[in-house]
Amino acid sequence: MISNTGSELVYSKNGLLTTIAWQIGDKVTYALEGSVFIAGALVQWLRDGLQLFDDAVETQAMAESVPDSGGVFVVPAFVGLGAPHWDPYARGTIVGLTRDTNRNHIVRASLEAIAYQSAEVLSSIANDTGTEVNELRIDGGAAANNFLCQFQADLLGLKVTRPQVLETTAMGAAFLAGLAVGVWKDQAQIRSLWQEEKTFTPQLSKNEAAQSMKNWSRAVERSKGWIVP
């Protein structure tokens, strides 16, 4: 997750990285970055490693086939934990399993894990910048999953907006190239080209969302320090 800080070089006190968003001429635009090591790749692992489904598109229906995750939490610390924890000794865990747990619960908990990690980073961004966040704009392949988008909105208590073009990183590179050769005259013109595809609004109470985040934090703590250095 990236937060544009403009010309200001902001150093995080909440586990984020300071990075360059882009540079046009001599003008550098900076950002705060929350680096999560495993997010969408978790779905690939469920498909290829555990063979729980054949196509990632199936995960939405699987997640929606159960009313909740059944108390299951998946912490995808396969290569340690990135922002905001930075624990290279953490390892992946699945907690809360019962005799009633089935693959749909695990798939749902895995999609929820992506949203939980994003929520942690967004909280760090808000604390570092002192900015009240009103909307989250998302992109990438996982953003095509309606369940994930809705759960993210529920967890954050914010509007989550999906663009018509999901591959925003590639599109941004194309915009910069076009700007350099005169296809677009300025950033304002580029900004006007962005188009919304769908917006998800929160349907969960703040108390329920806070309790969910608290339970997620408990699960994360159990994954930390698993490998003894």
Can you read off the two tokens belonging to residue 218?
Answer: 């408990």
Cα 192 from chain centre = 25
The per-residue pLDDT for 221 is 98
Helix (H) or strand (E) holding 31: strand 27-33
- β-sheet bridge partners, residue 2: 33
Q: How many CB atoms lie within 10 A of CB 183?
A: 12
**Cβ-contact 31, 125 below 8 angstroms:** no
For 87-135, the pLDDT digits (tens) are: 999 999 999 999 999 999 999 999 999 999 999 999 999 999 998 888 9
Q: How far is CA 29 from the centre of its chain?
A: 22
Exposure of 13 by Cβ count < 10 A (0-12 exposed, 13-18 middle, 19+ buried)? Answer: exposed
Tell me how far apart the alpha carbons of residues 44 and 208 are, in angstroms, rounded to a whole number.
29
Q: What is the pLDDT of residues 40-63, one digit of tens each?
A: 999 999 999 999 999 999 999 999
- d(C-alpha 25, C-alpha 180), whole Å: 9
- Looking at the predicted structure, is the pLDDT value of residue 229 above 80? no
For residue 204, give the 3-state DSSP assignment. coil
CATH topology for 2-223 is: Nucleotidyltransferase; domain 5 (3.30.420)
